[in-house]
Amino acid sequence: MKIFHLFANHKFTGPADLAMVMASSQQAAGAEVRFFSSTHPDAENSLEQIARSRGLETVTGLRLAKHLRWTSLLRDVSRLRRLIEAERPDFLHCHLDGDHLLACLACGKKGPGVIRSSYQLDPPSGWRARWSAARTRLWLPPSIRAETRLLQQHPKLQGRTRITAPPVDLQRFAPAADPGLSTDRDAAVVIGVVARMQRHRRFPQLIEAFAAAAAEDSRLQLVILGRGTHQDEVARIPAQQTGLGERIRFAGYIDPDLYPQQLRRFDLLLFLVPGSDGTCRAAREALACGVPVIASRRGLLPDLIPEQCGILLHNEAVDTMTRAILTLARDPLKRQYMADNARQHAQKTFDARTLGSDLIADLAHRSSGSRPDLAQNR
């Protein structure tokens, strides 16, 4: 089976990571995979370099613009049709609205089947989404709620969906070899935050909640991974105003090779506002590392985090966050219980290898006119 993955961007983002993880898992399952990302005339394609470093065969030459540009889109349609004619892929796997439209235009009625992965709770809307949905062989919504909303928006997709949770590389993101249960009552409890420091992500409220909890428990430490154009305004100045000094640490950008190691050092993760791509990547990766997550109920977060793996906040008030932090900080047995459940949940739900191999089997059976006896990832 040959699959072209199309990704309409040249930057590394949450959806880009998911696209590459899925492509790699399909390759590991025996599919022949090509990965296409945006060839930008004035910028280096960092995504193409990362894809190659992950062992994917990359193809350049398609503009694959993030935003709709009819001139470049029509040129891409011609180029992609020539590639389809030359290489005869079985499927085009799409991840964003731009590459989805391109695939549907290039394939026509007799071309390869179009697959669309989506990573947010709400489906795309508008004329492009309606037109593309009607020409899509299989749509992969990330959860049951997302599938329900997708079918309400695009009822003609009934029977052409397969729930597929956002994949995680569980070999890369795994708990410490022997984390054990600390018996030191004075050991630090490290709370992690992984997010770009942006105005809408409620950093001042998060820091205020931590400060209130830290006033009651001297073991608490906060480590913030990430950068942002407004980091002084939204995070560093509020942190300085707490007077907690080194108990709030800004680690900045972490090398990708060291990031899993840093993540598994956390005793728990705070995750309030999903990024603009909605993938909740840090929350999923923390669960895979056996780190309990305290999260809001925004977007996909309730779908990704069962109650035995963390705490879903009833609201985002500062005192609610403070109580949640103290609840887990003061109960190491509960943290360990949630940590064990988090890893088990990730293995059952997010395992990229299982998701990739099951999808390949499903596609093979759909192509042959039968269906495999595979449980959907629900």
pLDDT in tens, 131-144: 999 999 999 999 99
17 shares its domain with 148: yes
pLDDT at site 366:
86
Q: Angle, nearest 10°, between helix axes 332-349 and 281-288?
A: 110
pLDDT at site 378:
45
Question: What one-letter code names the amino acid at 99?
Answer: D
- Provide the domain count of the chain: 2
Q: Which two tokens stand for residue 134?
A: 């009607």
Inside any domain, residue 179: no
Inside any domain, residue 107: yes
CA-wise closest residue to 269 among 173, 180, 178: 173
Q: Is 30 exposed, middle or buried (0-12, 13-18, 19+ CB in 10 A)?
A: exposed
In tens, the pLDDT along 210-231 reads 999 999 999 999 999 999 989 9
Q: Which two tokens stand for residue 64?
A: 């694959």
Q: Which two tokens stand for residue 294?
A: 């305290």
Confidence of residue 260 (pLDDT cuts 50, 70, 90): very high
122 shares its domain with 211: no
pTM confidence score? 0.93
Confidence of residue 44 (pLDDT cuts 50, 70, 90): confident
Inside any domain, residue 216: yes
6 shares its domain with 146: yes
Confidence of residue 370 (pLDDT cuts 50, 70, 90): low
DSSP conformational letter for 234: I
Exposure string over 350-370, b if 16+ CB within 10 A, otherwise e: bbbbbbbbbbbebbeebeeee
Inside any domain, residue 174: no
Confidence of residue 42 (pLDDT cuts 50, 70, 90): confident
CB within 8 A of 247, min separation 6: which ones? 214, 220, 221, 222
d(CA 13, CA 7): 11
268 shares its domain with 151: no
260 shares its domain with 333: yes
Q: Compare 340 and 278 and report the one with higher pLDDT.
A: 340
Mean pLDDT computed over every residue of the chain: 94
Please compute the mean of the pLDDT values over residues 291-299 and round it to a whole number: 98
In tens, the pLDDT along 96-121 reads 999 999 999 999 888 999 999 999 99
Expressed as residue numbers, the domain containing 137 is: 2-167+351-368
193 shares its domain with 152: no
13 shares its domain with 141: yes
Please compute the mean of the pLDDT values over residues 34-63 and round it to a whole number: 94
Q: Check which CATH number belongs to the domain holding 143 and give it.
A: 3.40.50.2000
